[in-house]
């Protein structure tokens, strides 16, 4: 990760493996200058406030907890990890749900397939994002994959949609095609992921149109054979 601030959105929208963002929208481009200034200001506040700015983001019932991202102190990535800003992922193995949250607000909620006791629990981050991990969009890992840091596990698509809501993987988190493609566009590299039993309750997916970015670069990695524990 870079410790300098990006001057343009193009510095974040790059080809694999530096695809921090997977594309953009006209709205993102118009808002970027203002957002950048806000993030710089919040990064400064975070350094002045010290640990008090990094408090527990759990709900009052303590069920949902945020995992820290891999951001560097004093960098623009750190600003994205301040409590009021980042998106984070929580996977509830009890309910076979994956939720995207901003603070304690659920932005999206998806059904997922898991691997029972083989699915790891704990705190991770998205360390890699790749399109068509099997070299095509209909392989066993589907059209998108996102590696969980320091593991052989990933959040990815599947060629077996009937496995969603069941324990059929070797530990990975499986998602339907439309869901994984939206999630891939929603969350940047470094997004924190917490896998735990319980915590999400019976939260429905928010209504609304699918979020979609306009891709700008090649995000495939044809030189690698992915061997996630699907």
User: Which residues are catalytic, by number?
Assistant: 156, 172
Sheet (strand 97-102) strand order: 105-111, 97-102, 87-92, 192-196, 122-131, 144-148, 154-156, 173-174
Question: How far is Cα 198 from Cα 201, in angstroms, rounded to an integer?
Answer: 7
**Residues near 13 by Cβ (< 8 Å), separated by ≥ 6?**
19, 20, 21, 22, 23, 24, 216, 217
What phi and psi, each to the nearest 5 degrees, are found at residue 48?
-70, -35
Alpha helices in 63-222 (DSSP H): 76-80, 177-186
Residue 162's alpha-carbon distances to 92, 112, 213, in angstroms, are: 19, 10, 27
Q: C-alpha angle with apex 211: 221 to 87, nearest 5 degrees?
A: 80
Q: What is the DSSP string of 196-209?
A: ESS-S-SPPPPPSP
Question: How far is Cα 148 from Cα 202, in angstroms, rounded to an integer?
Answer: 25
Question: How far is Cα 116 from Cα 109, in angstroms, rounded to an integer?
Answer: 20
């Amino acid at each position: 990760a870079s410790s300098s601030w990006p001057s343009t959105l193009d510095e974040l929208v790059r080809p694999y493996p530096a695809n921090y963002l997977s594309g953009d929208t006209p709205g993102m481009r118009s808002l970027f200058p203002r957002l950048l200034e806000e993030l710089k200001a919040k990064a400064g506040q975070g350094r002045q406030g010290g640990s008090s700015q990094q408090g527990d983001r759990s709900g009052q019932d303590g069920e949902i907890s945020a995992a820290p991202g891999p951001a560097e102190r004093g960098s623009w990535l750190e600003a994205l990890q301040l409590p009021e800003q980042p998106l984070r992922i929580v996977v509830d193995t009890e309910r076979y749900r994956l939720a995207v949250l901003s603070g304690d607000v659920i932005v999206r909620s998806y059904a997922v397939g898991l691997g029972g006791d083989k699915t790891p629990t704990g705190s991770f981050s998205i360390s890699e994002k790749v399109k068509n991990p099997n070299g095509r969009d209909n392989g066993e890992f589907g059209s998108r994959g996102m590696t969980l840091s320091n593991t052989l596990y990933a959040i990815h698509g599947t060629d077996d949609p009937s496995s969603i809501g069941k324990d059929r993987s070797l530990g990975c988190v499986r998602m339907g095609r439309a869901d994984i493609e939206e999630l891939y566009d929603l969350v940047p590299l470094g997004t924190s992921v917490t896998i735990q039993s319980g915590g999400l309750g019976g939260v429905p997916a928010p209504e609304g149109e699918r979020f979609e970015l306009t891709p700008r670069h090649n995000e495939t990695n044809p030189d690698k054979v992915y061997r996630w524990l699907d």
